[in-house]
Amino acid sequence: MKNFKYILIALSLFAISCNDTSKKDTEITAENSSENSTDNKISDMSIYNLPSQWTTQDGNEIELKQLQGKVLVMVMIYTSCQAACPRLVADMRNIEKQIPENKKDGIQYVFVSIDPKTDTPERLTAFAKENEMEDAKWLFLRGSEDDTREFAAVLAVNYKQISPMDFSHSNIISVFNKAGELAHQQEGLGVNNKETVQAIIDLTK
Amino acid sequence: MKLFNTALFLVSTLLFCKVTAQNNEMATVKGGVYLPLYGTADKTVKVDSFMMDVYPVTNADFLKFVKENPLWKKSNIKRLFADESYLTKWTTDENFSGLPNAPATNVSWFAAKKYCECQGKRLPKMDEWEYAAMANENVPDARKVESYNQYILNWYETPKTFNKTVGSTFKNYWGIYDLHGLVWEWTQDFNTVLISGESRKDVDKDSNLFCGSAAIGASDLMNYAAFMRYAFRGSMKARYSSQNLGFRCAKNLEN
């Protein structure tokens, strides 16, 4: 009976997190997985425990889990931002430049919008284009307001809408290891990013 | 096919989150406009009518929740969702310390959020909480009433109020108990507080928050009382928990 319950829990987890996969997929996953096997795969501190769904700049639906295996460099921004965000974008680009050629493949740079109402996939695409970040290594994500708030809570990024156009927000760049565990955070704008770059290089090993 | 998936989703959501009525009394708070201590510079904030739990969630309520949702037991919880202080005073997974009807504390934001979702509710937004908590026994906005502010400040000076039972403070204008006097409470968007302090010097700082604390004048007892709440929220992270911090749930007004 207890087992049955766990299967149902697992099943419902999958149903919640992948409700656009086909029924067949759901069944297969449900058969093969128990709570334990999921635990083995994803560690306690991993952001891959979050079931949230995100939309990319290309309009694809993804879960964070799909990024597993890459080192993630993440920042929360909004595209209509005039003040801090361009500098955060510059910081991200700056970090990317300093990564040696042979390490570049294993790294994903992720921008998460804190203004999902405004930042539609179209808007994110335009933003990527403006900033010459159209390569696949740059990923722009938009989620529901709740999931965005939750994700910010995980990153300890605080933000608040202060007018229809503007948000106040913490300027934090977060680095996650291949298992989705927070490994390094850089706080502030235009700060020396040597440590961040080193952390990223170390994590790709 | 789609229908099947939807059905599966609904059924499994119900199973995943066992919904059972517990301590379900809610009060309706009639919406309005208020001027928060800080935030949108000198602008009032509109709060829609909503429903709020009459009491904070108790130890007994929370025990029921973890029994029905074992992933949230003390020994099972993922560290992403709660740090080591989660339910720290519980002697086992199913034994809380203190009174059954004392507020549940040492609960992380993730756990509080999940609890409310499982009741078909949500955490109150910070503006909703602040709006409801402006009331004393008689008026919806008592922030300029001296006894109201004195009550809060006296509470700040009283140790271990988290051991008291829910309902032991005053019933406010809306019929809600214990917004002041027992524990601080999680809100859905606690992380909208941007404190410019040593720990987070990087944010676009919100000097309004500090204007409140710098000017200790006649009307500032009220600011001080609220400032403490905002400062506390600003110092929390979603996986932290504290023995002084509980929660209650809210939901949108049903039409």
Q: Which domains does chain A have, with CATH numbers?
A: 5-203 (3.40.30.10)
Instruction: With respect to residue B163, please indicate whether it lies within any of the assigned structural domains.
Output: yes
**Residue B3, domain member (yes or no):** no
Q: Is residue B105 part of a domain?
A: yes
Residues 4-33 of A with CB under 8 A from B: 8-9, 11-13, 15-16, 19, 22-23, 26
Look up the CATH number of the domain holding residue B46.
3.90.1580.10
Residue identified by tokens 């709570």 is: A35
Q: Is residue A160 within 8 angstroms of chain B, CB to CB?
A: yes
Strands A71-77 and B26-29: unpaired
Residue window 48-107, chain B: list those with CB within 8 Å of chain A. Answer: 71, 78-81
Using 50, 70 and 90 to split pLDDT, how confident is the model at A147?
very high
Query: How large is the angle between the packed helices B2-16 and A23-32, nearest 10 degrees?
Result: 40
Nearest residue in chain B measured CA to CA from A168:
B204
Which pLDDT tens digit goes with each residue over B101-156? 999 999 999 999 999 999 999 999 999 999 999 999 999 999 888 899 899 999 99
* pLDDT > 90 fraction of chain B, expressed in percent and rounded: 64
The verdict on ipTM greater than 0.90 is no
User: Could you tell me if residue B169 is inside a domain?
Assistant: yes
* CB proximity list for A142: less than 8 A, separation 6 or greater: A54, A55, A112, A113, A116, A119, A120, A121, A124, A148
A82 against A56, higher pLDDT: A56
Is the CB of residue A65 less than 8 Å away from at least one CB of chain B? no
- Which tens digits make up the pLDDT trace of A150-200? 999 888 888 777 777 777 777 889 999 999 999 999 888 777 889 999 999
For residues A107 and A204, the answer to whether their CB atoms sit within 8 Å is: yes
Residue B199 scores a pLDDT above 50: no
**Chain centre to alpha carbon of residue B203:** 24
For residue B40, being part of any structural domain is answered with yes
Let me know if residue B7 belongs to a domain: no
Q: Which residues of B touch A23 (CB under 8 A)?
A: 1, 4-5, 8
Domain extent at residue B57: 26-248
| Count of domains forming chain B | 1
| Mean pLDDT of the region A59-87 | 90
| Angle (nearest 5°) at CA B185 between B55 and B196 | 160
Q: Which of B1, B5, B126, B252 to mutate to test the interface with A (most CBs of A within 10 A)?
A: B5
- Confirm whether B32 is domain-assigned: yes
Asked whether residue B134 is domain-assigned, the answer is yes
Is the pLDDT score of A22 beyond 50? no
Please give the pLDDT value at position B197: 39
CA distance B71 to chain A (A): 10
